[in-house]
Amino acid sequence: MKTTLLISALMFTFLVNSVSAQTEADIERAYGKPLDVYSVSENIWMTPEYSADGNVCSMRLYPKRINQETNFVCTSCELDFKELKRLLNELVPPKTRGLQNESFGQTATGGPAAWTTYGYEKVSFTFVAPFGPPKYDGTTLRKGQFVFTVPIGPPAPPKSRLPTRDDFSTFGSPRTQIVTIRWNDRKCTPK
């Protein structure tokens, strides 16, 4: 009994010492270097990556869950579209993007996610959102043939491929949770 108590006391002492002895170096050794994360708006974080010459080559935008003073509780973790659009136009103004690509605003789906890409000559924006209804309640899905409400007729005249401040659509990415911005002519280098 005394041996068991002694072993338990030694193990407890070892565990307490090992937990309290964590340093920045210990954490970095176990989990890697911390990311650069910037508070770019009230509700959005931005994590950049850089090319070998130090220019930003990619940015990821995502909802804030915490900051120094606040824990944000989020049920859907979607980015506020109005705030996001303002921020995207600030980070990459339309005049710096180049012309829209032919496949501008295309959406791909797979599994539980949808990726809508707004591609330009110089930069691409990819919006990631969950795919499908948030919760199936038995009445959300329609049965039978879909009836288009817009009459089918001659194609619309081609729109201008010049970028504008209103290029991003809530229709194409209504529940966006992550946006990645990539500069097409810059290769990111790992840290």
Q: What percent of the chain has pLDDT over 70?
A: 68
Q: Outline where the chain has alpha helix (H).
A: 2-20, 24-31, 81-91
Which pLDDT value is given to residue 174?
66
Residue 117 near residue 126, CB atoms below 8 Å = yes
Confidence label for 131 from pLDDT (cuts 50, 70 and 90): confident
Which pLDDT value is given to residue 85?
92
Per the model's pLDDT, the better-predicted residue between 106 and 40 turns out to be 40
What are the boundaries of each domain within the chain? Answer: 99-133+161-185
* Strand runs labelled E in the chain: 38-39, 44-50, 56-63, 106-110, 113-119, 123-130, 178-183
Confidence label for 169 from pLDDT (cuts 50, 70 and 90): confident
Confidence label for 137 from pLDDT (cuts 50, 70 and 90): very low
Burial of 40 from C-beta contacts in 10 A (0-12 / 13-18 / 19+): middle
Other CB atoms within a 10 A radius of the CB of residue 45 amount to: 18
Which pLDDT tens digit goes with each residue over 87-120? 999 999 999 999 998 888 888 887 778 888 999 9
